[in-house]
Amino acid sequence: MLPERKRAGSTSVRRFGSVIIGGGYTGLAAARRIAELRPDEPVLVVEASTIGEGSSGRNSGFVINVPHNTKMGGHTSPLEVARKQIRIYEAGLHWLEGLVREHRIDCNWNPAGKFHAAASEAGVQNLMASLAQYREWGVNFEVFDREALQEKLGTSYYKFGYHSPNNVFVQPAALIRGLADSLPSNVLLVEGEPVVSLSKSSPFCVTTSKTQYTADRVVLANNGFAKELGILRDRLITIFTYAALTPRLSESELKKLGNTSEWGLIPANRLGTTLRRVQGDRFMVRSAYSYEREQSPAETLAQLTSSYQRRYPNMQSHRFEYVWGGTTALTRNGATFFGELRPGLFASLGCNGAGVLKGSTYGKLLGEMAMGAQSSCLSDALSLEGPSWLPPEPFRRIGVVSTIKYQAALAGPER
């Protein structure tokens, strides 16, 4: 049995060695590592919502350990950037899997790999470019034509694709709750307390909606919401993305989803549709994006239903039981800010839609950095390029919204 989650709201403690703002994958990893390195020092995690109810529990449950962006890197070649990221992610995945095993976190951990598939000729060319990178990196893959994909996935919608073993499936809300419930004993966790202000220097005054805390050091792990505290406002944008889950499907309906009991598919265009056949006999569809605010529930449902119908027209029903949205923080060049903003203030912000493994890995490394530890993975993370500048509003909104519309048009059948 996991211990009951620890809550600082029931104690008079207001002074901490470290305060972590954000109880997602990054924040919990940073808190865990700091607490391990300073077992006699109290650590506080402040979460605005409830663990598992925020964006960390609303993702698609892909834990991917290959790079998403290798075009950054300053004076470093893309190949060297990729190699650094692969080293970082492999170490992070080993650490995360160890936590799942050690604490018996029931999150449906399944190293089943992932499919990438294209429905358009432009999508095929995108996948070919990805495979050229995989060859250069030494990443294994298996190519599938339309007929082979139909056997695996149950749909003739895609004309070309490949499968890579570099992914683990999880139930994301179960994983994040398990990581929270297994934190070291010197970590206190507060939920439902958004941070409303943060002082400039140490000792930091962290003001929440309910009280104030003081800390020698602060770790910012609240992704796009850091902008509300005046942090990286000219580097981060917040995007909403949407998903839906079917009711439990009958055996006859499940057979229409291919011969693989659990699988996931990444689209050939960044604004395409992600699919996942999940444990528990359900099917998930993720698609659609909006800038800074949620779109209407009716529009979201219509878009997700259309994506489902076009790929699986022979299903008896295209009804969803659950529909939800979540936020992610993007940067213009796809880079994450990682490091020390000013003395005692550490941050990992801008996950760019790859939060489960990147967040866990970068959070662990950030905790080590805050404690003065050194490692080759930490050096690699610090050597990567940071986020590039974004224009102010209203030019930013015009640019982002125009880009979303352009990419959506470019995606075509991949949507």
CATH number for the domain that contains residue 318: 3.30.9.10
The angle subtended at Cα 196 by Cα 194 and Cα 199, nearest 5°, is 130
DSSP 110: B
Model confidence pTM above 0.85: yes
Order across the sheet with 274-278: list the strands. 142-145, 160-164, 114-118, 263-267, 274-278, 282-291, 237-245, 322-330
Give the pLDDT of residue 278.
Answer: 97
- Phi, psi torsion values for 342, nearest 5 degrees: -155, 170
Is 117 inside any structural domain?
no
Is residue 190 domain-shared with residue 82, that is, in the same domain? yes
- Asked if residue 365 and residue 250 are part of one domain, the reply reads no
Confidence at residue 86, expressed as pLDDT on a 0 to 100 scale: 96
Structure tokens at 79: 């190949």
Domain CATH code at residue 350: 3.50.50.60
Query: Is residue 394 domain-resident?
Result: no
Same domain, 184 and 324: no
Does residue 110 lie within any of the structural domains? no
Which residue, 20, 40, 39, is CA-closest to 29?
A: 20
Q: Is residue 81 part of a domain?
A: yes
134, 194: one domain: no
Query: In this structure, what token pair is assigned to residue 278?
Result: 């999940």
Same-domain status, 210 and 247 = no
408 shares a domain with 292: yes
If asked whether residues 321 and 337 sit together in one domain, one would say no
pLDDT reported for residue 3:
39
Is 201 inside any structural domain? yes
Residue 409 lies in a domain: yes
Whether residue 347 is found in the same domain as residue 254: no
Q: DSSP class of residue 244?
A: E
Domain membership of residue 185 (yes or no) is yes
Q: Are 347 and 222 in contact (CB under 8 A)?
A: no
**361 and 407 belong to one structural domain:** no
What residues make up the domain containing 322? 129-165+238-330+401-414
Distance CA 123, CA 411 (A): 8
Looking at residue 69, its pLDDT comes to 65
Instruction: Name the DSSP class of 3.
Output: P
Residues 314, 216, single domain; the answer is no
pLDDT at residue number 353: 79
Instruction: State residue 71's pLDDT score.
Output: 57
Q: How many domains does the chain have?
A: 2
Of the candidates 213, 229, 221, 226, the residue with the CA atom closest to the CA atom of residue 42: 213
State whether 252 and 315 are in the same domain. Answer: yes
- Give the SS3 label for residue 297: helix
- Which residues of the chain are under the pLDDT cut of 50? 1-5, 7-10, 72-75
If asked whether residues 378 and 245 sit together in one domain, one would say no
Residue type, 181: D
Identify the pLDDT of residue 12.
67
Question: Alpha-carbon distance 246 to 72, whole Å?
Answer: 38
Residue 118 domain flag:
no
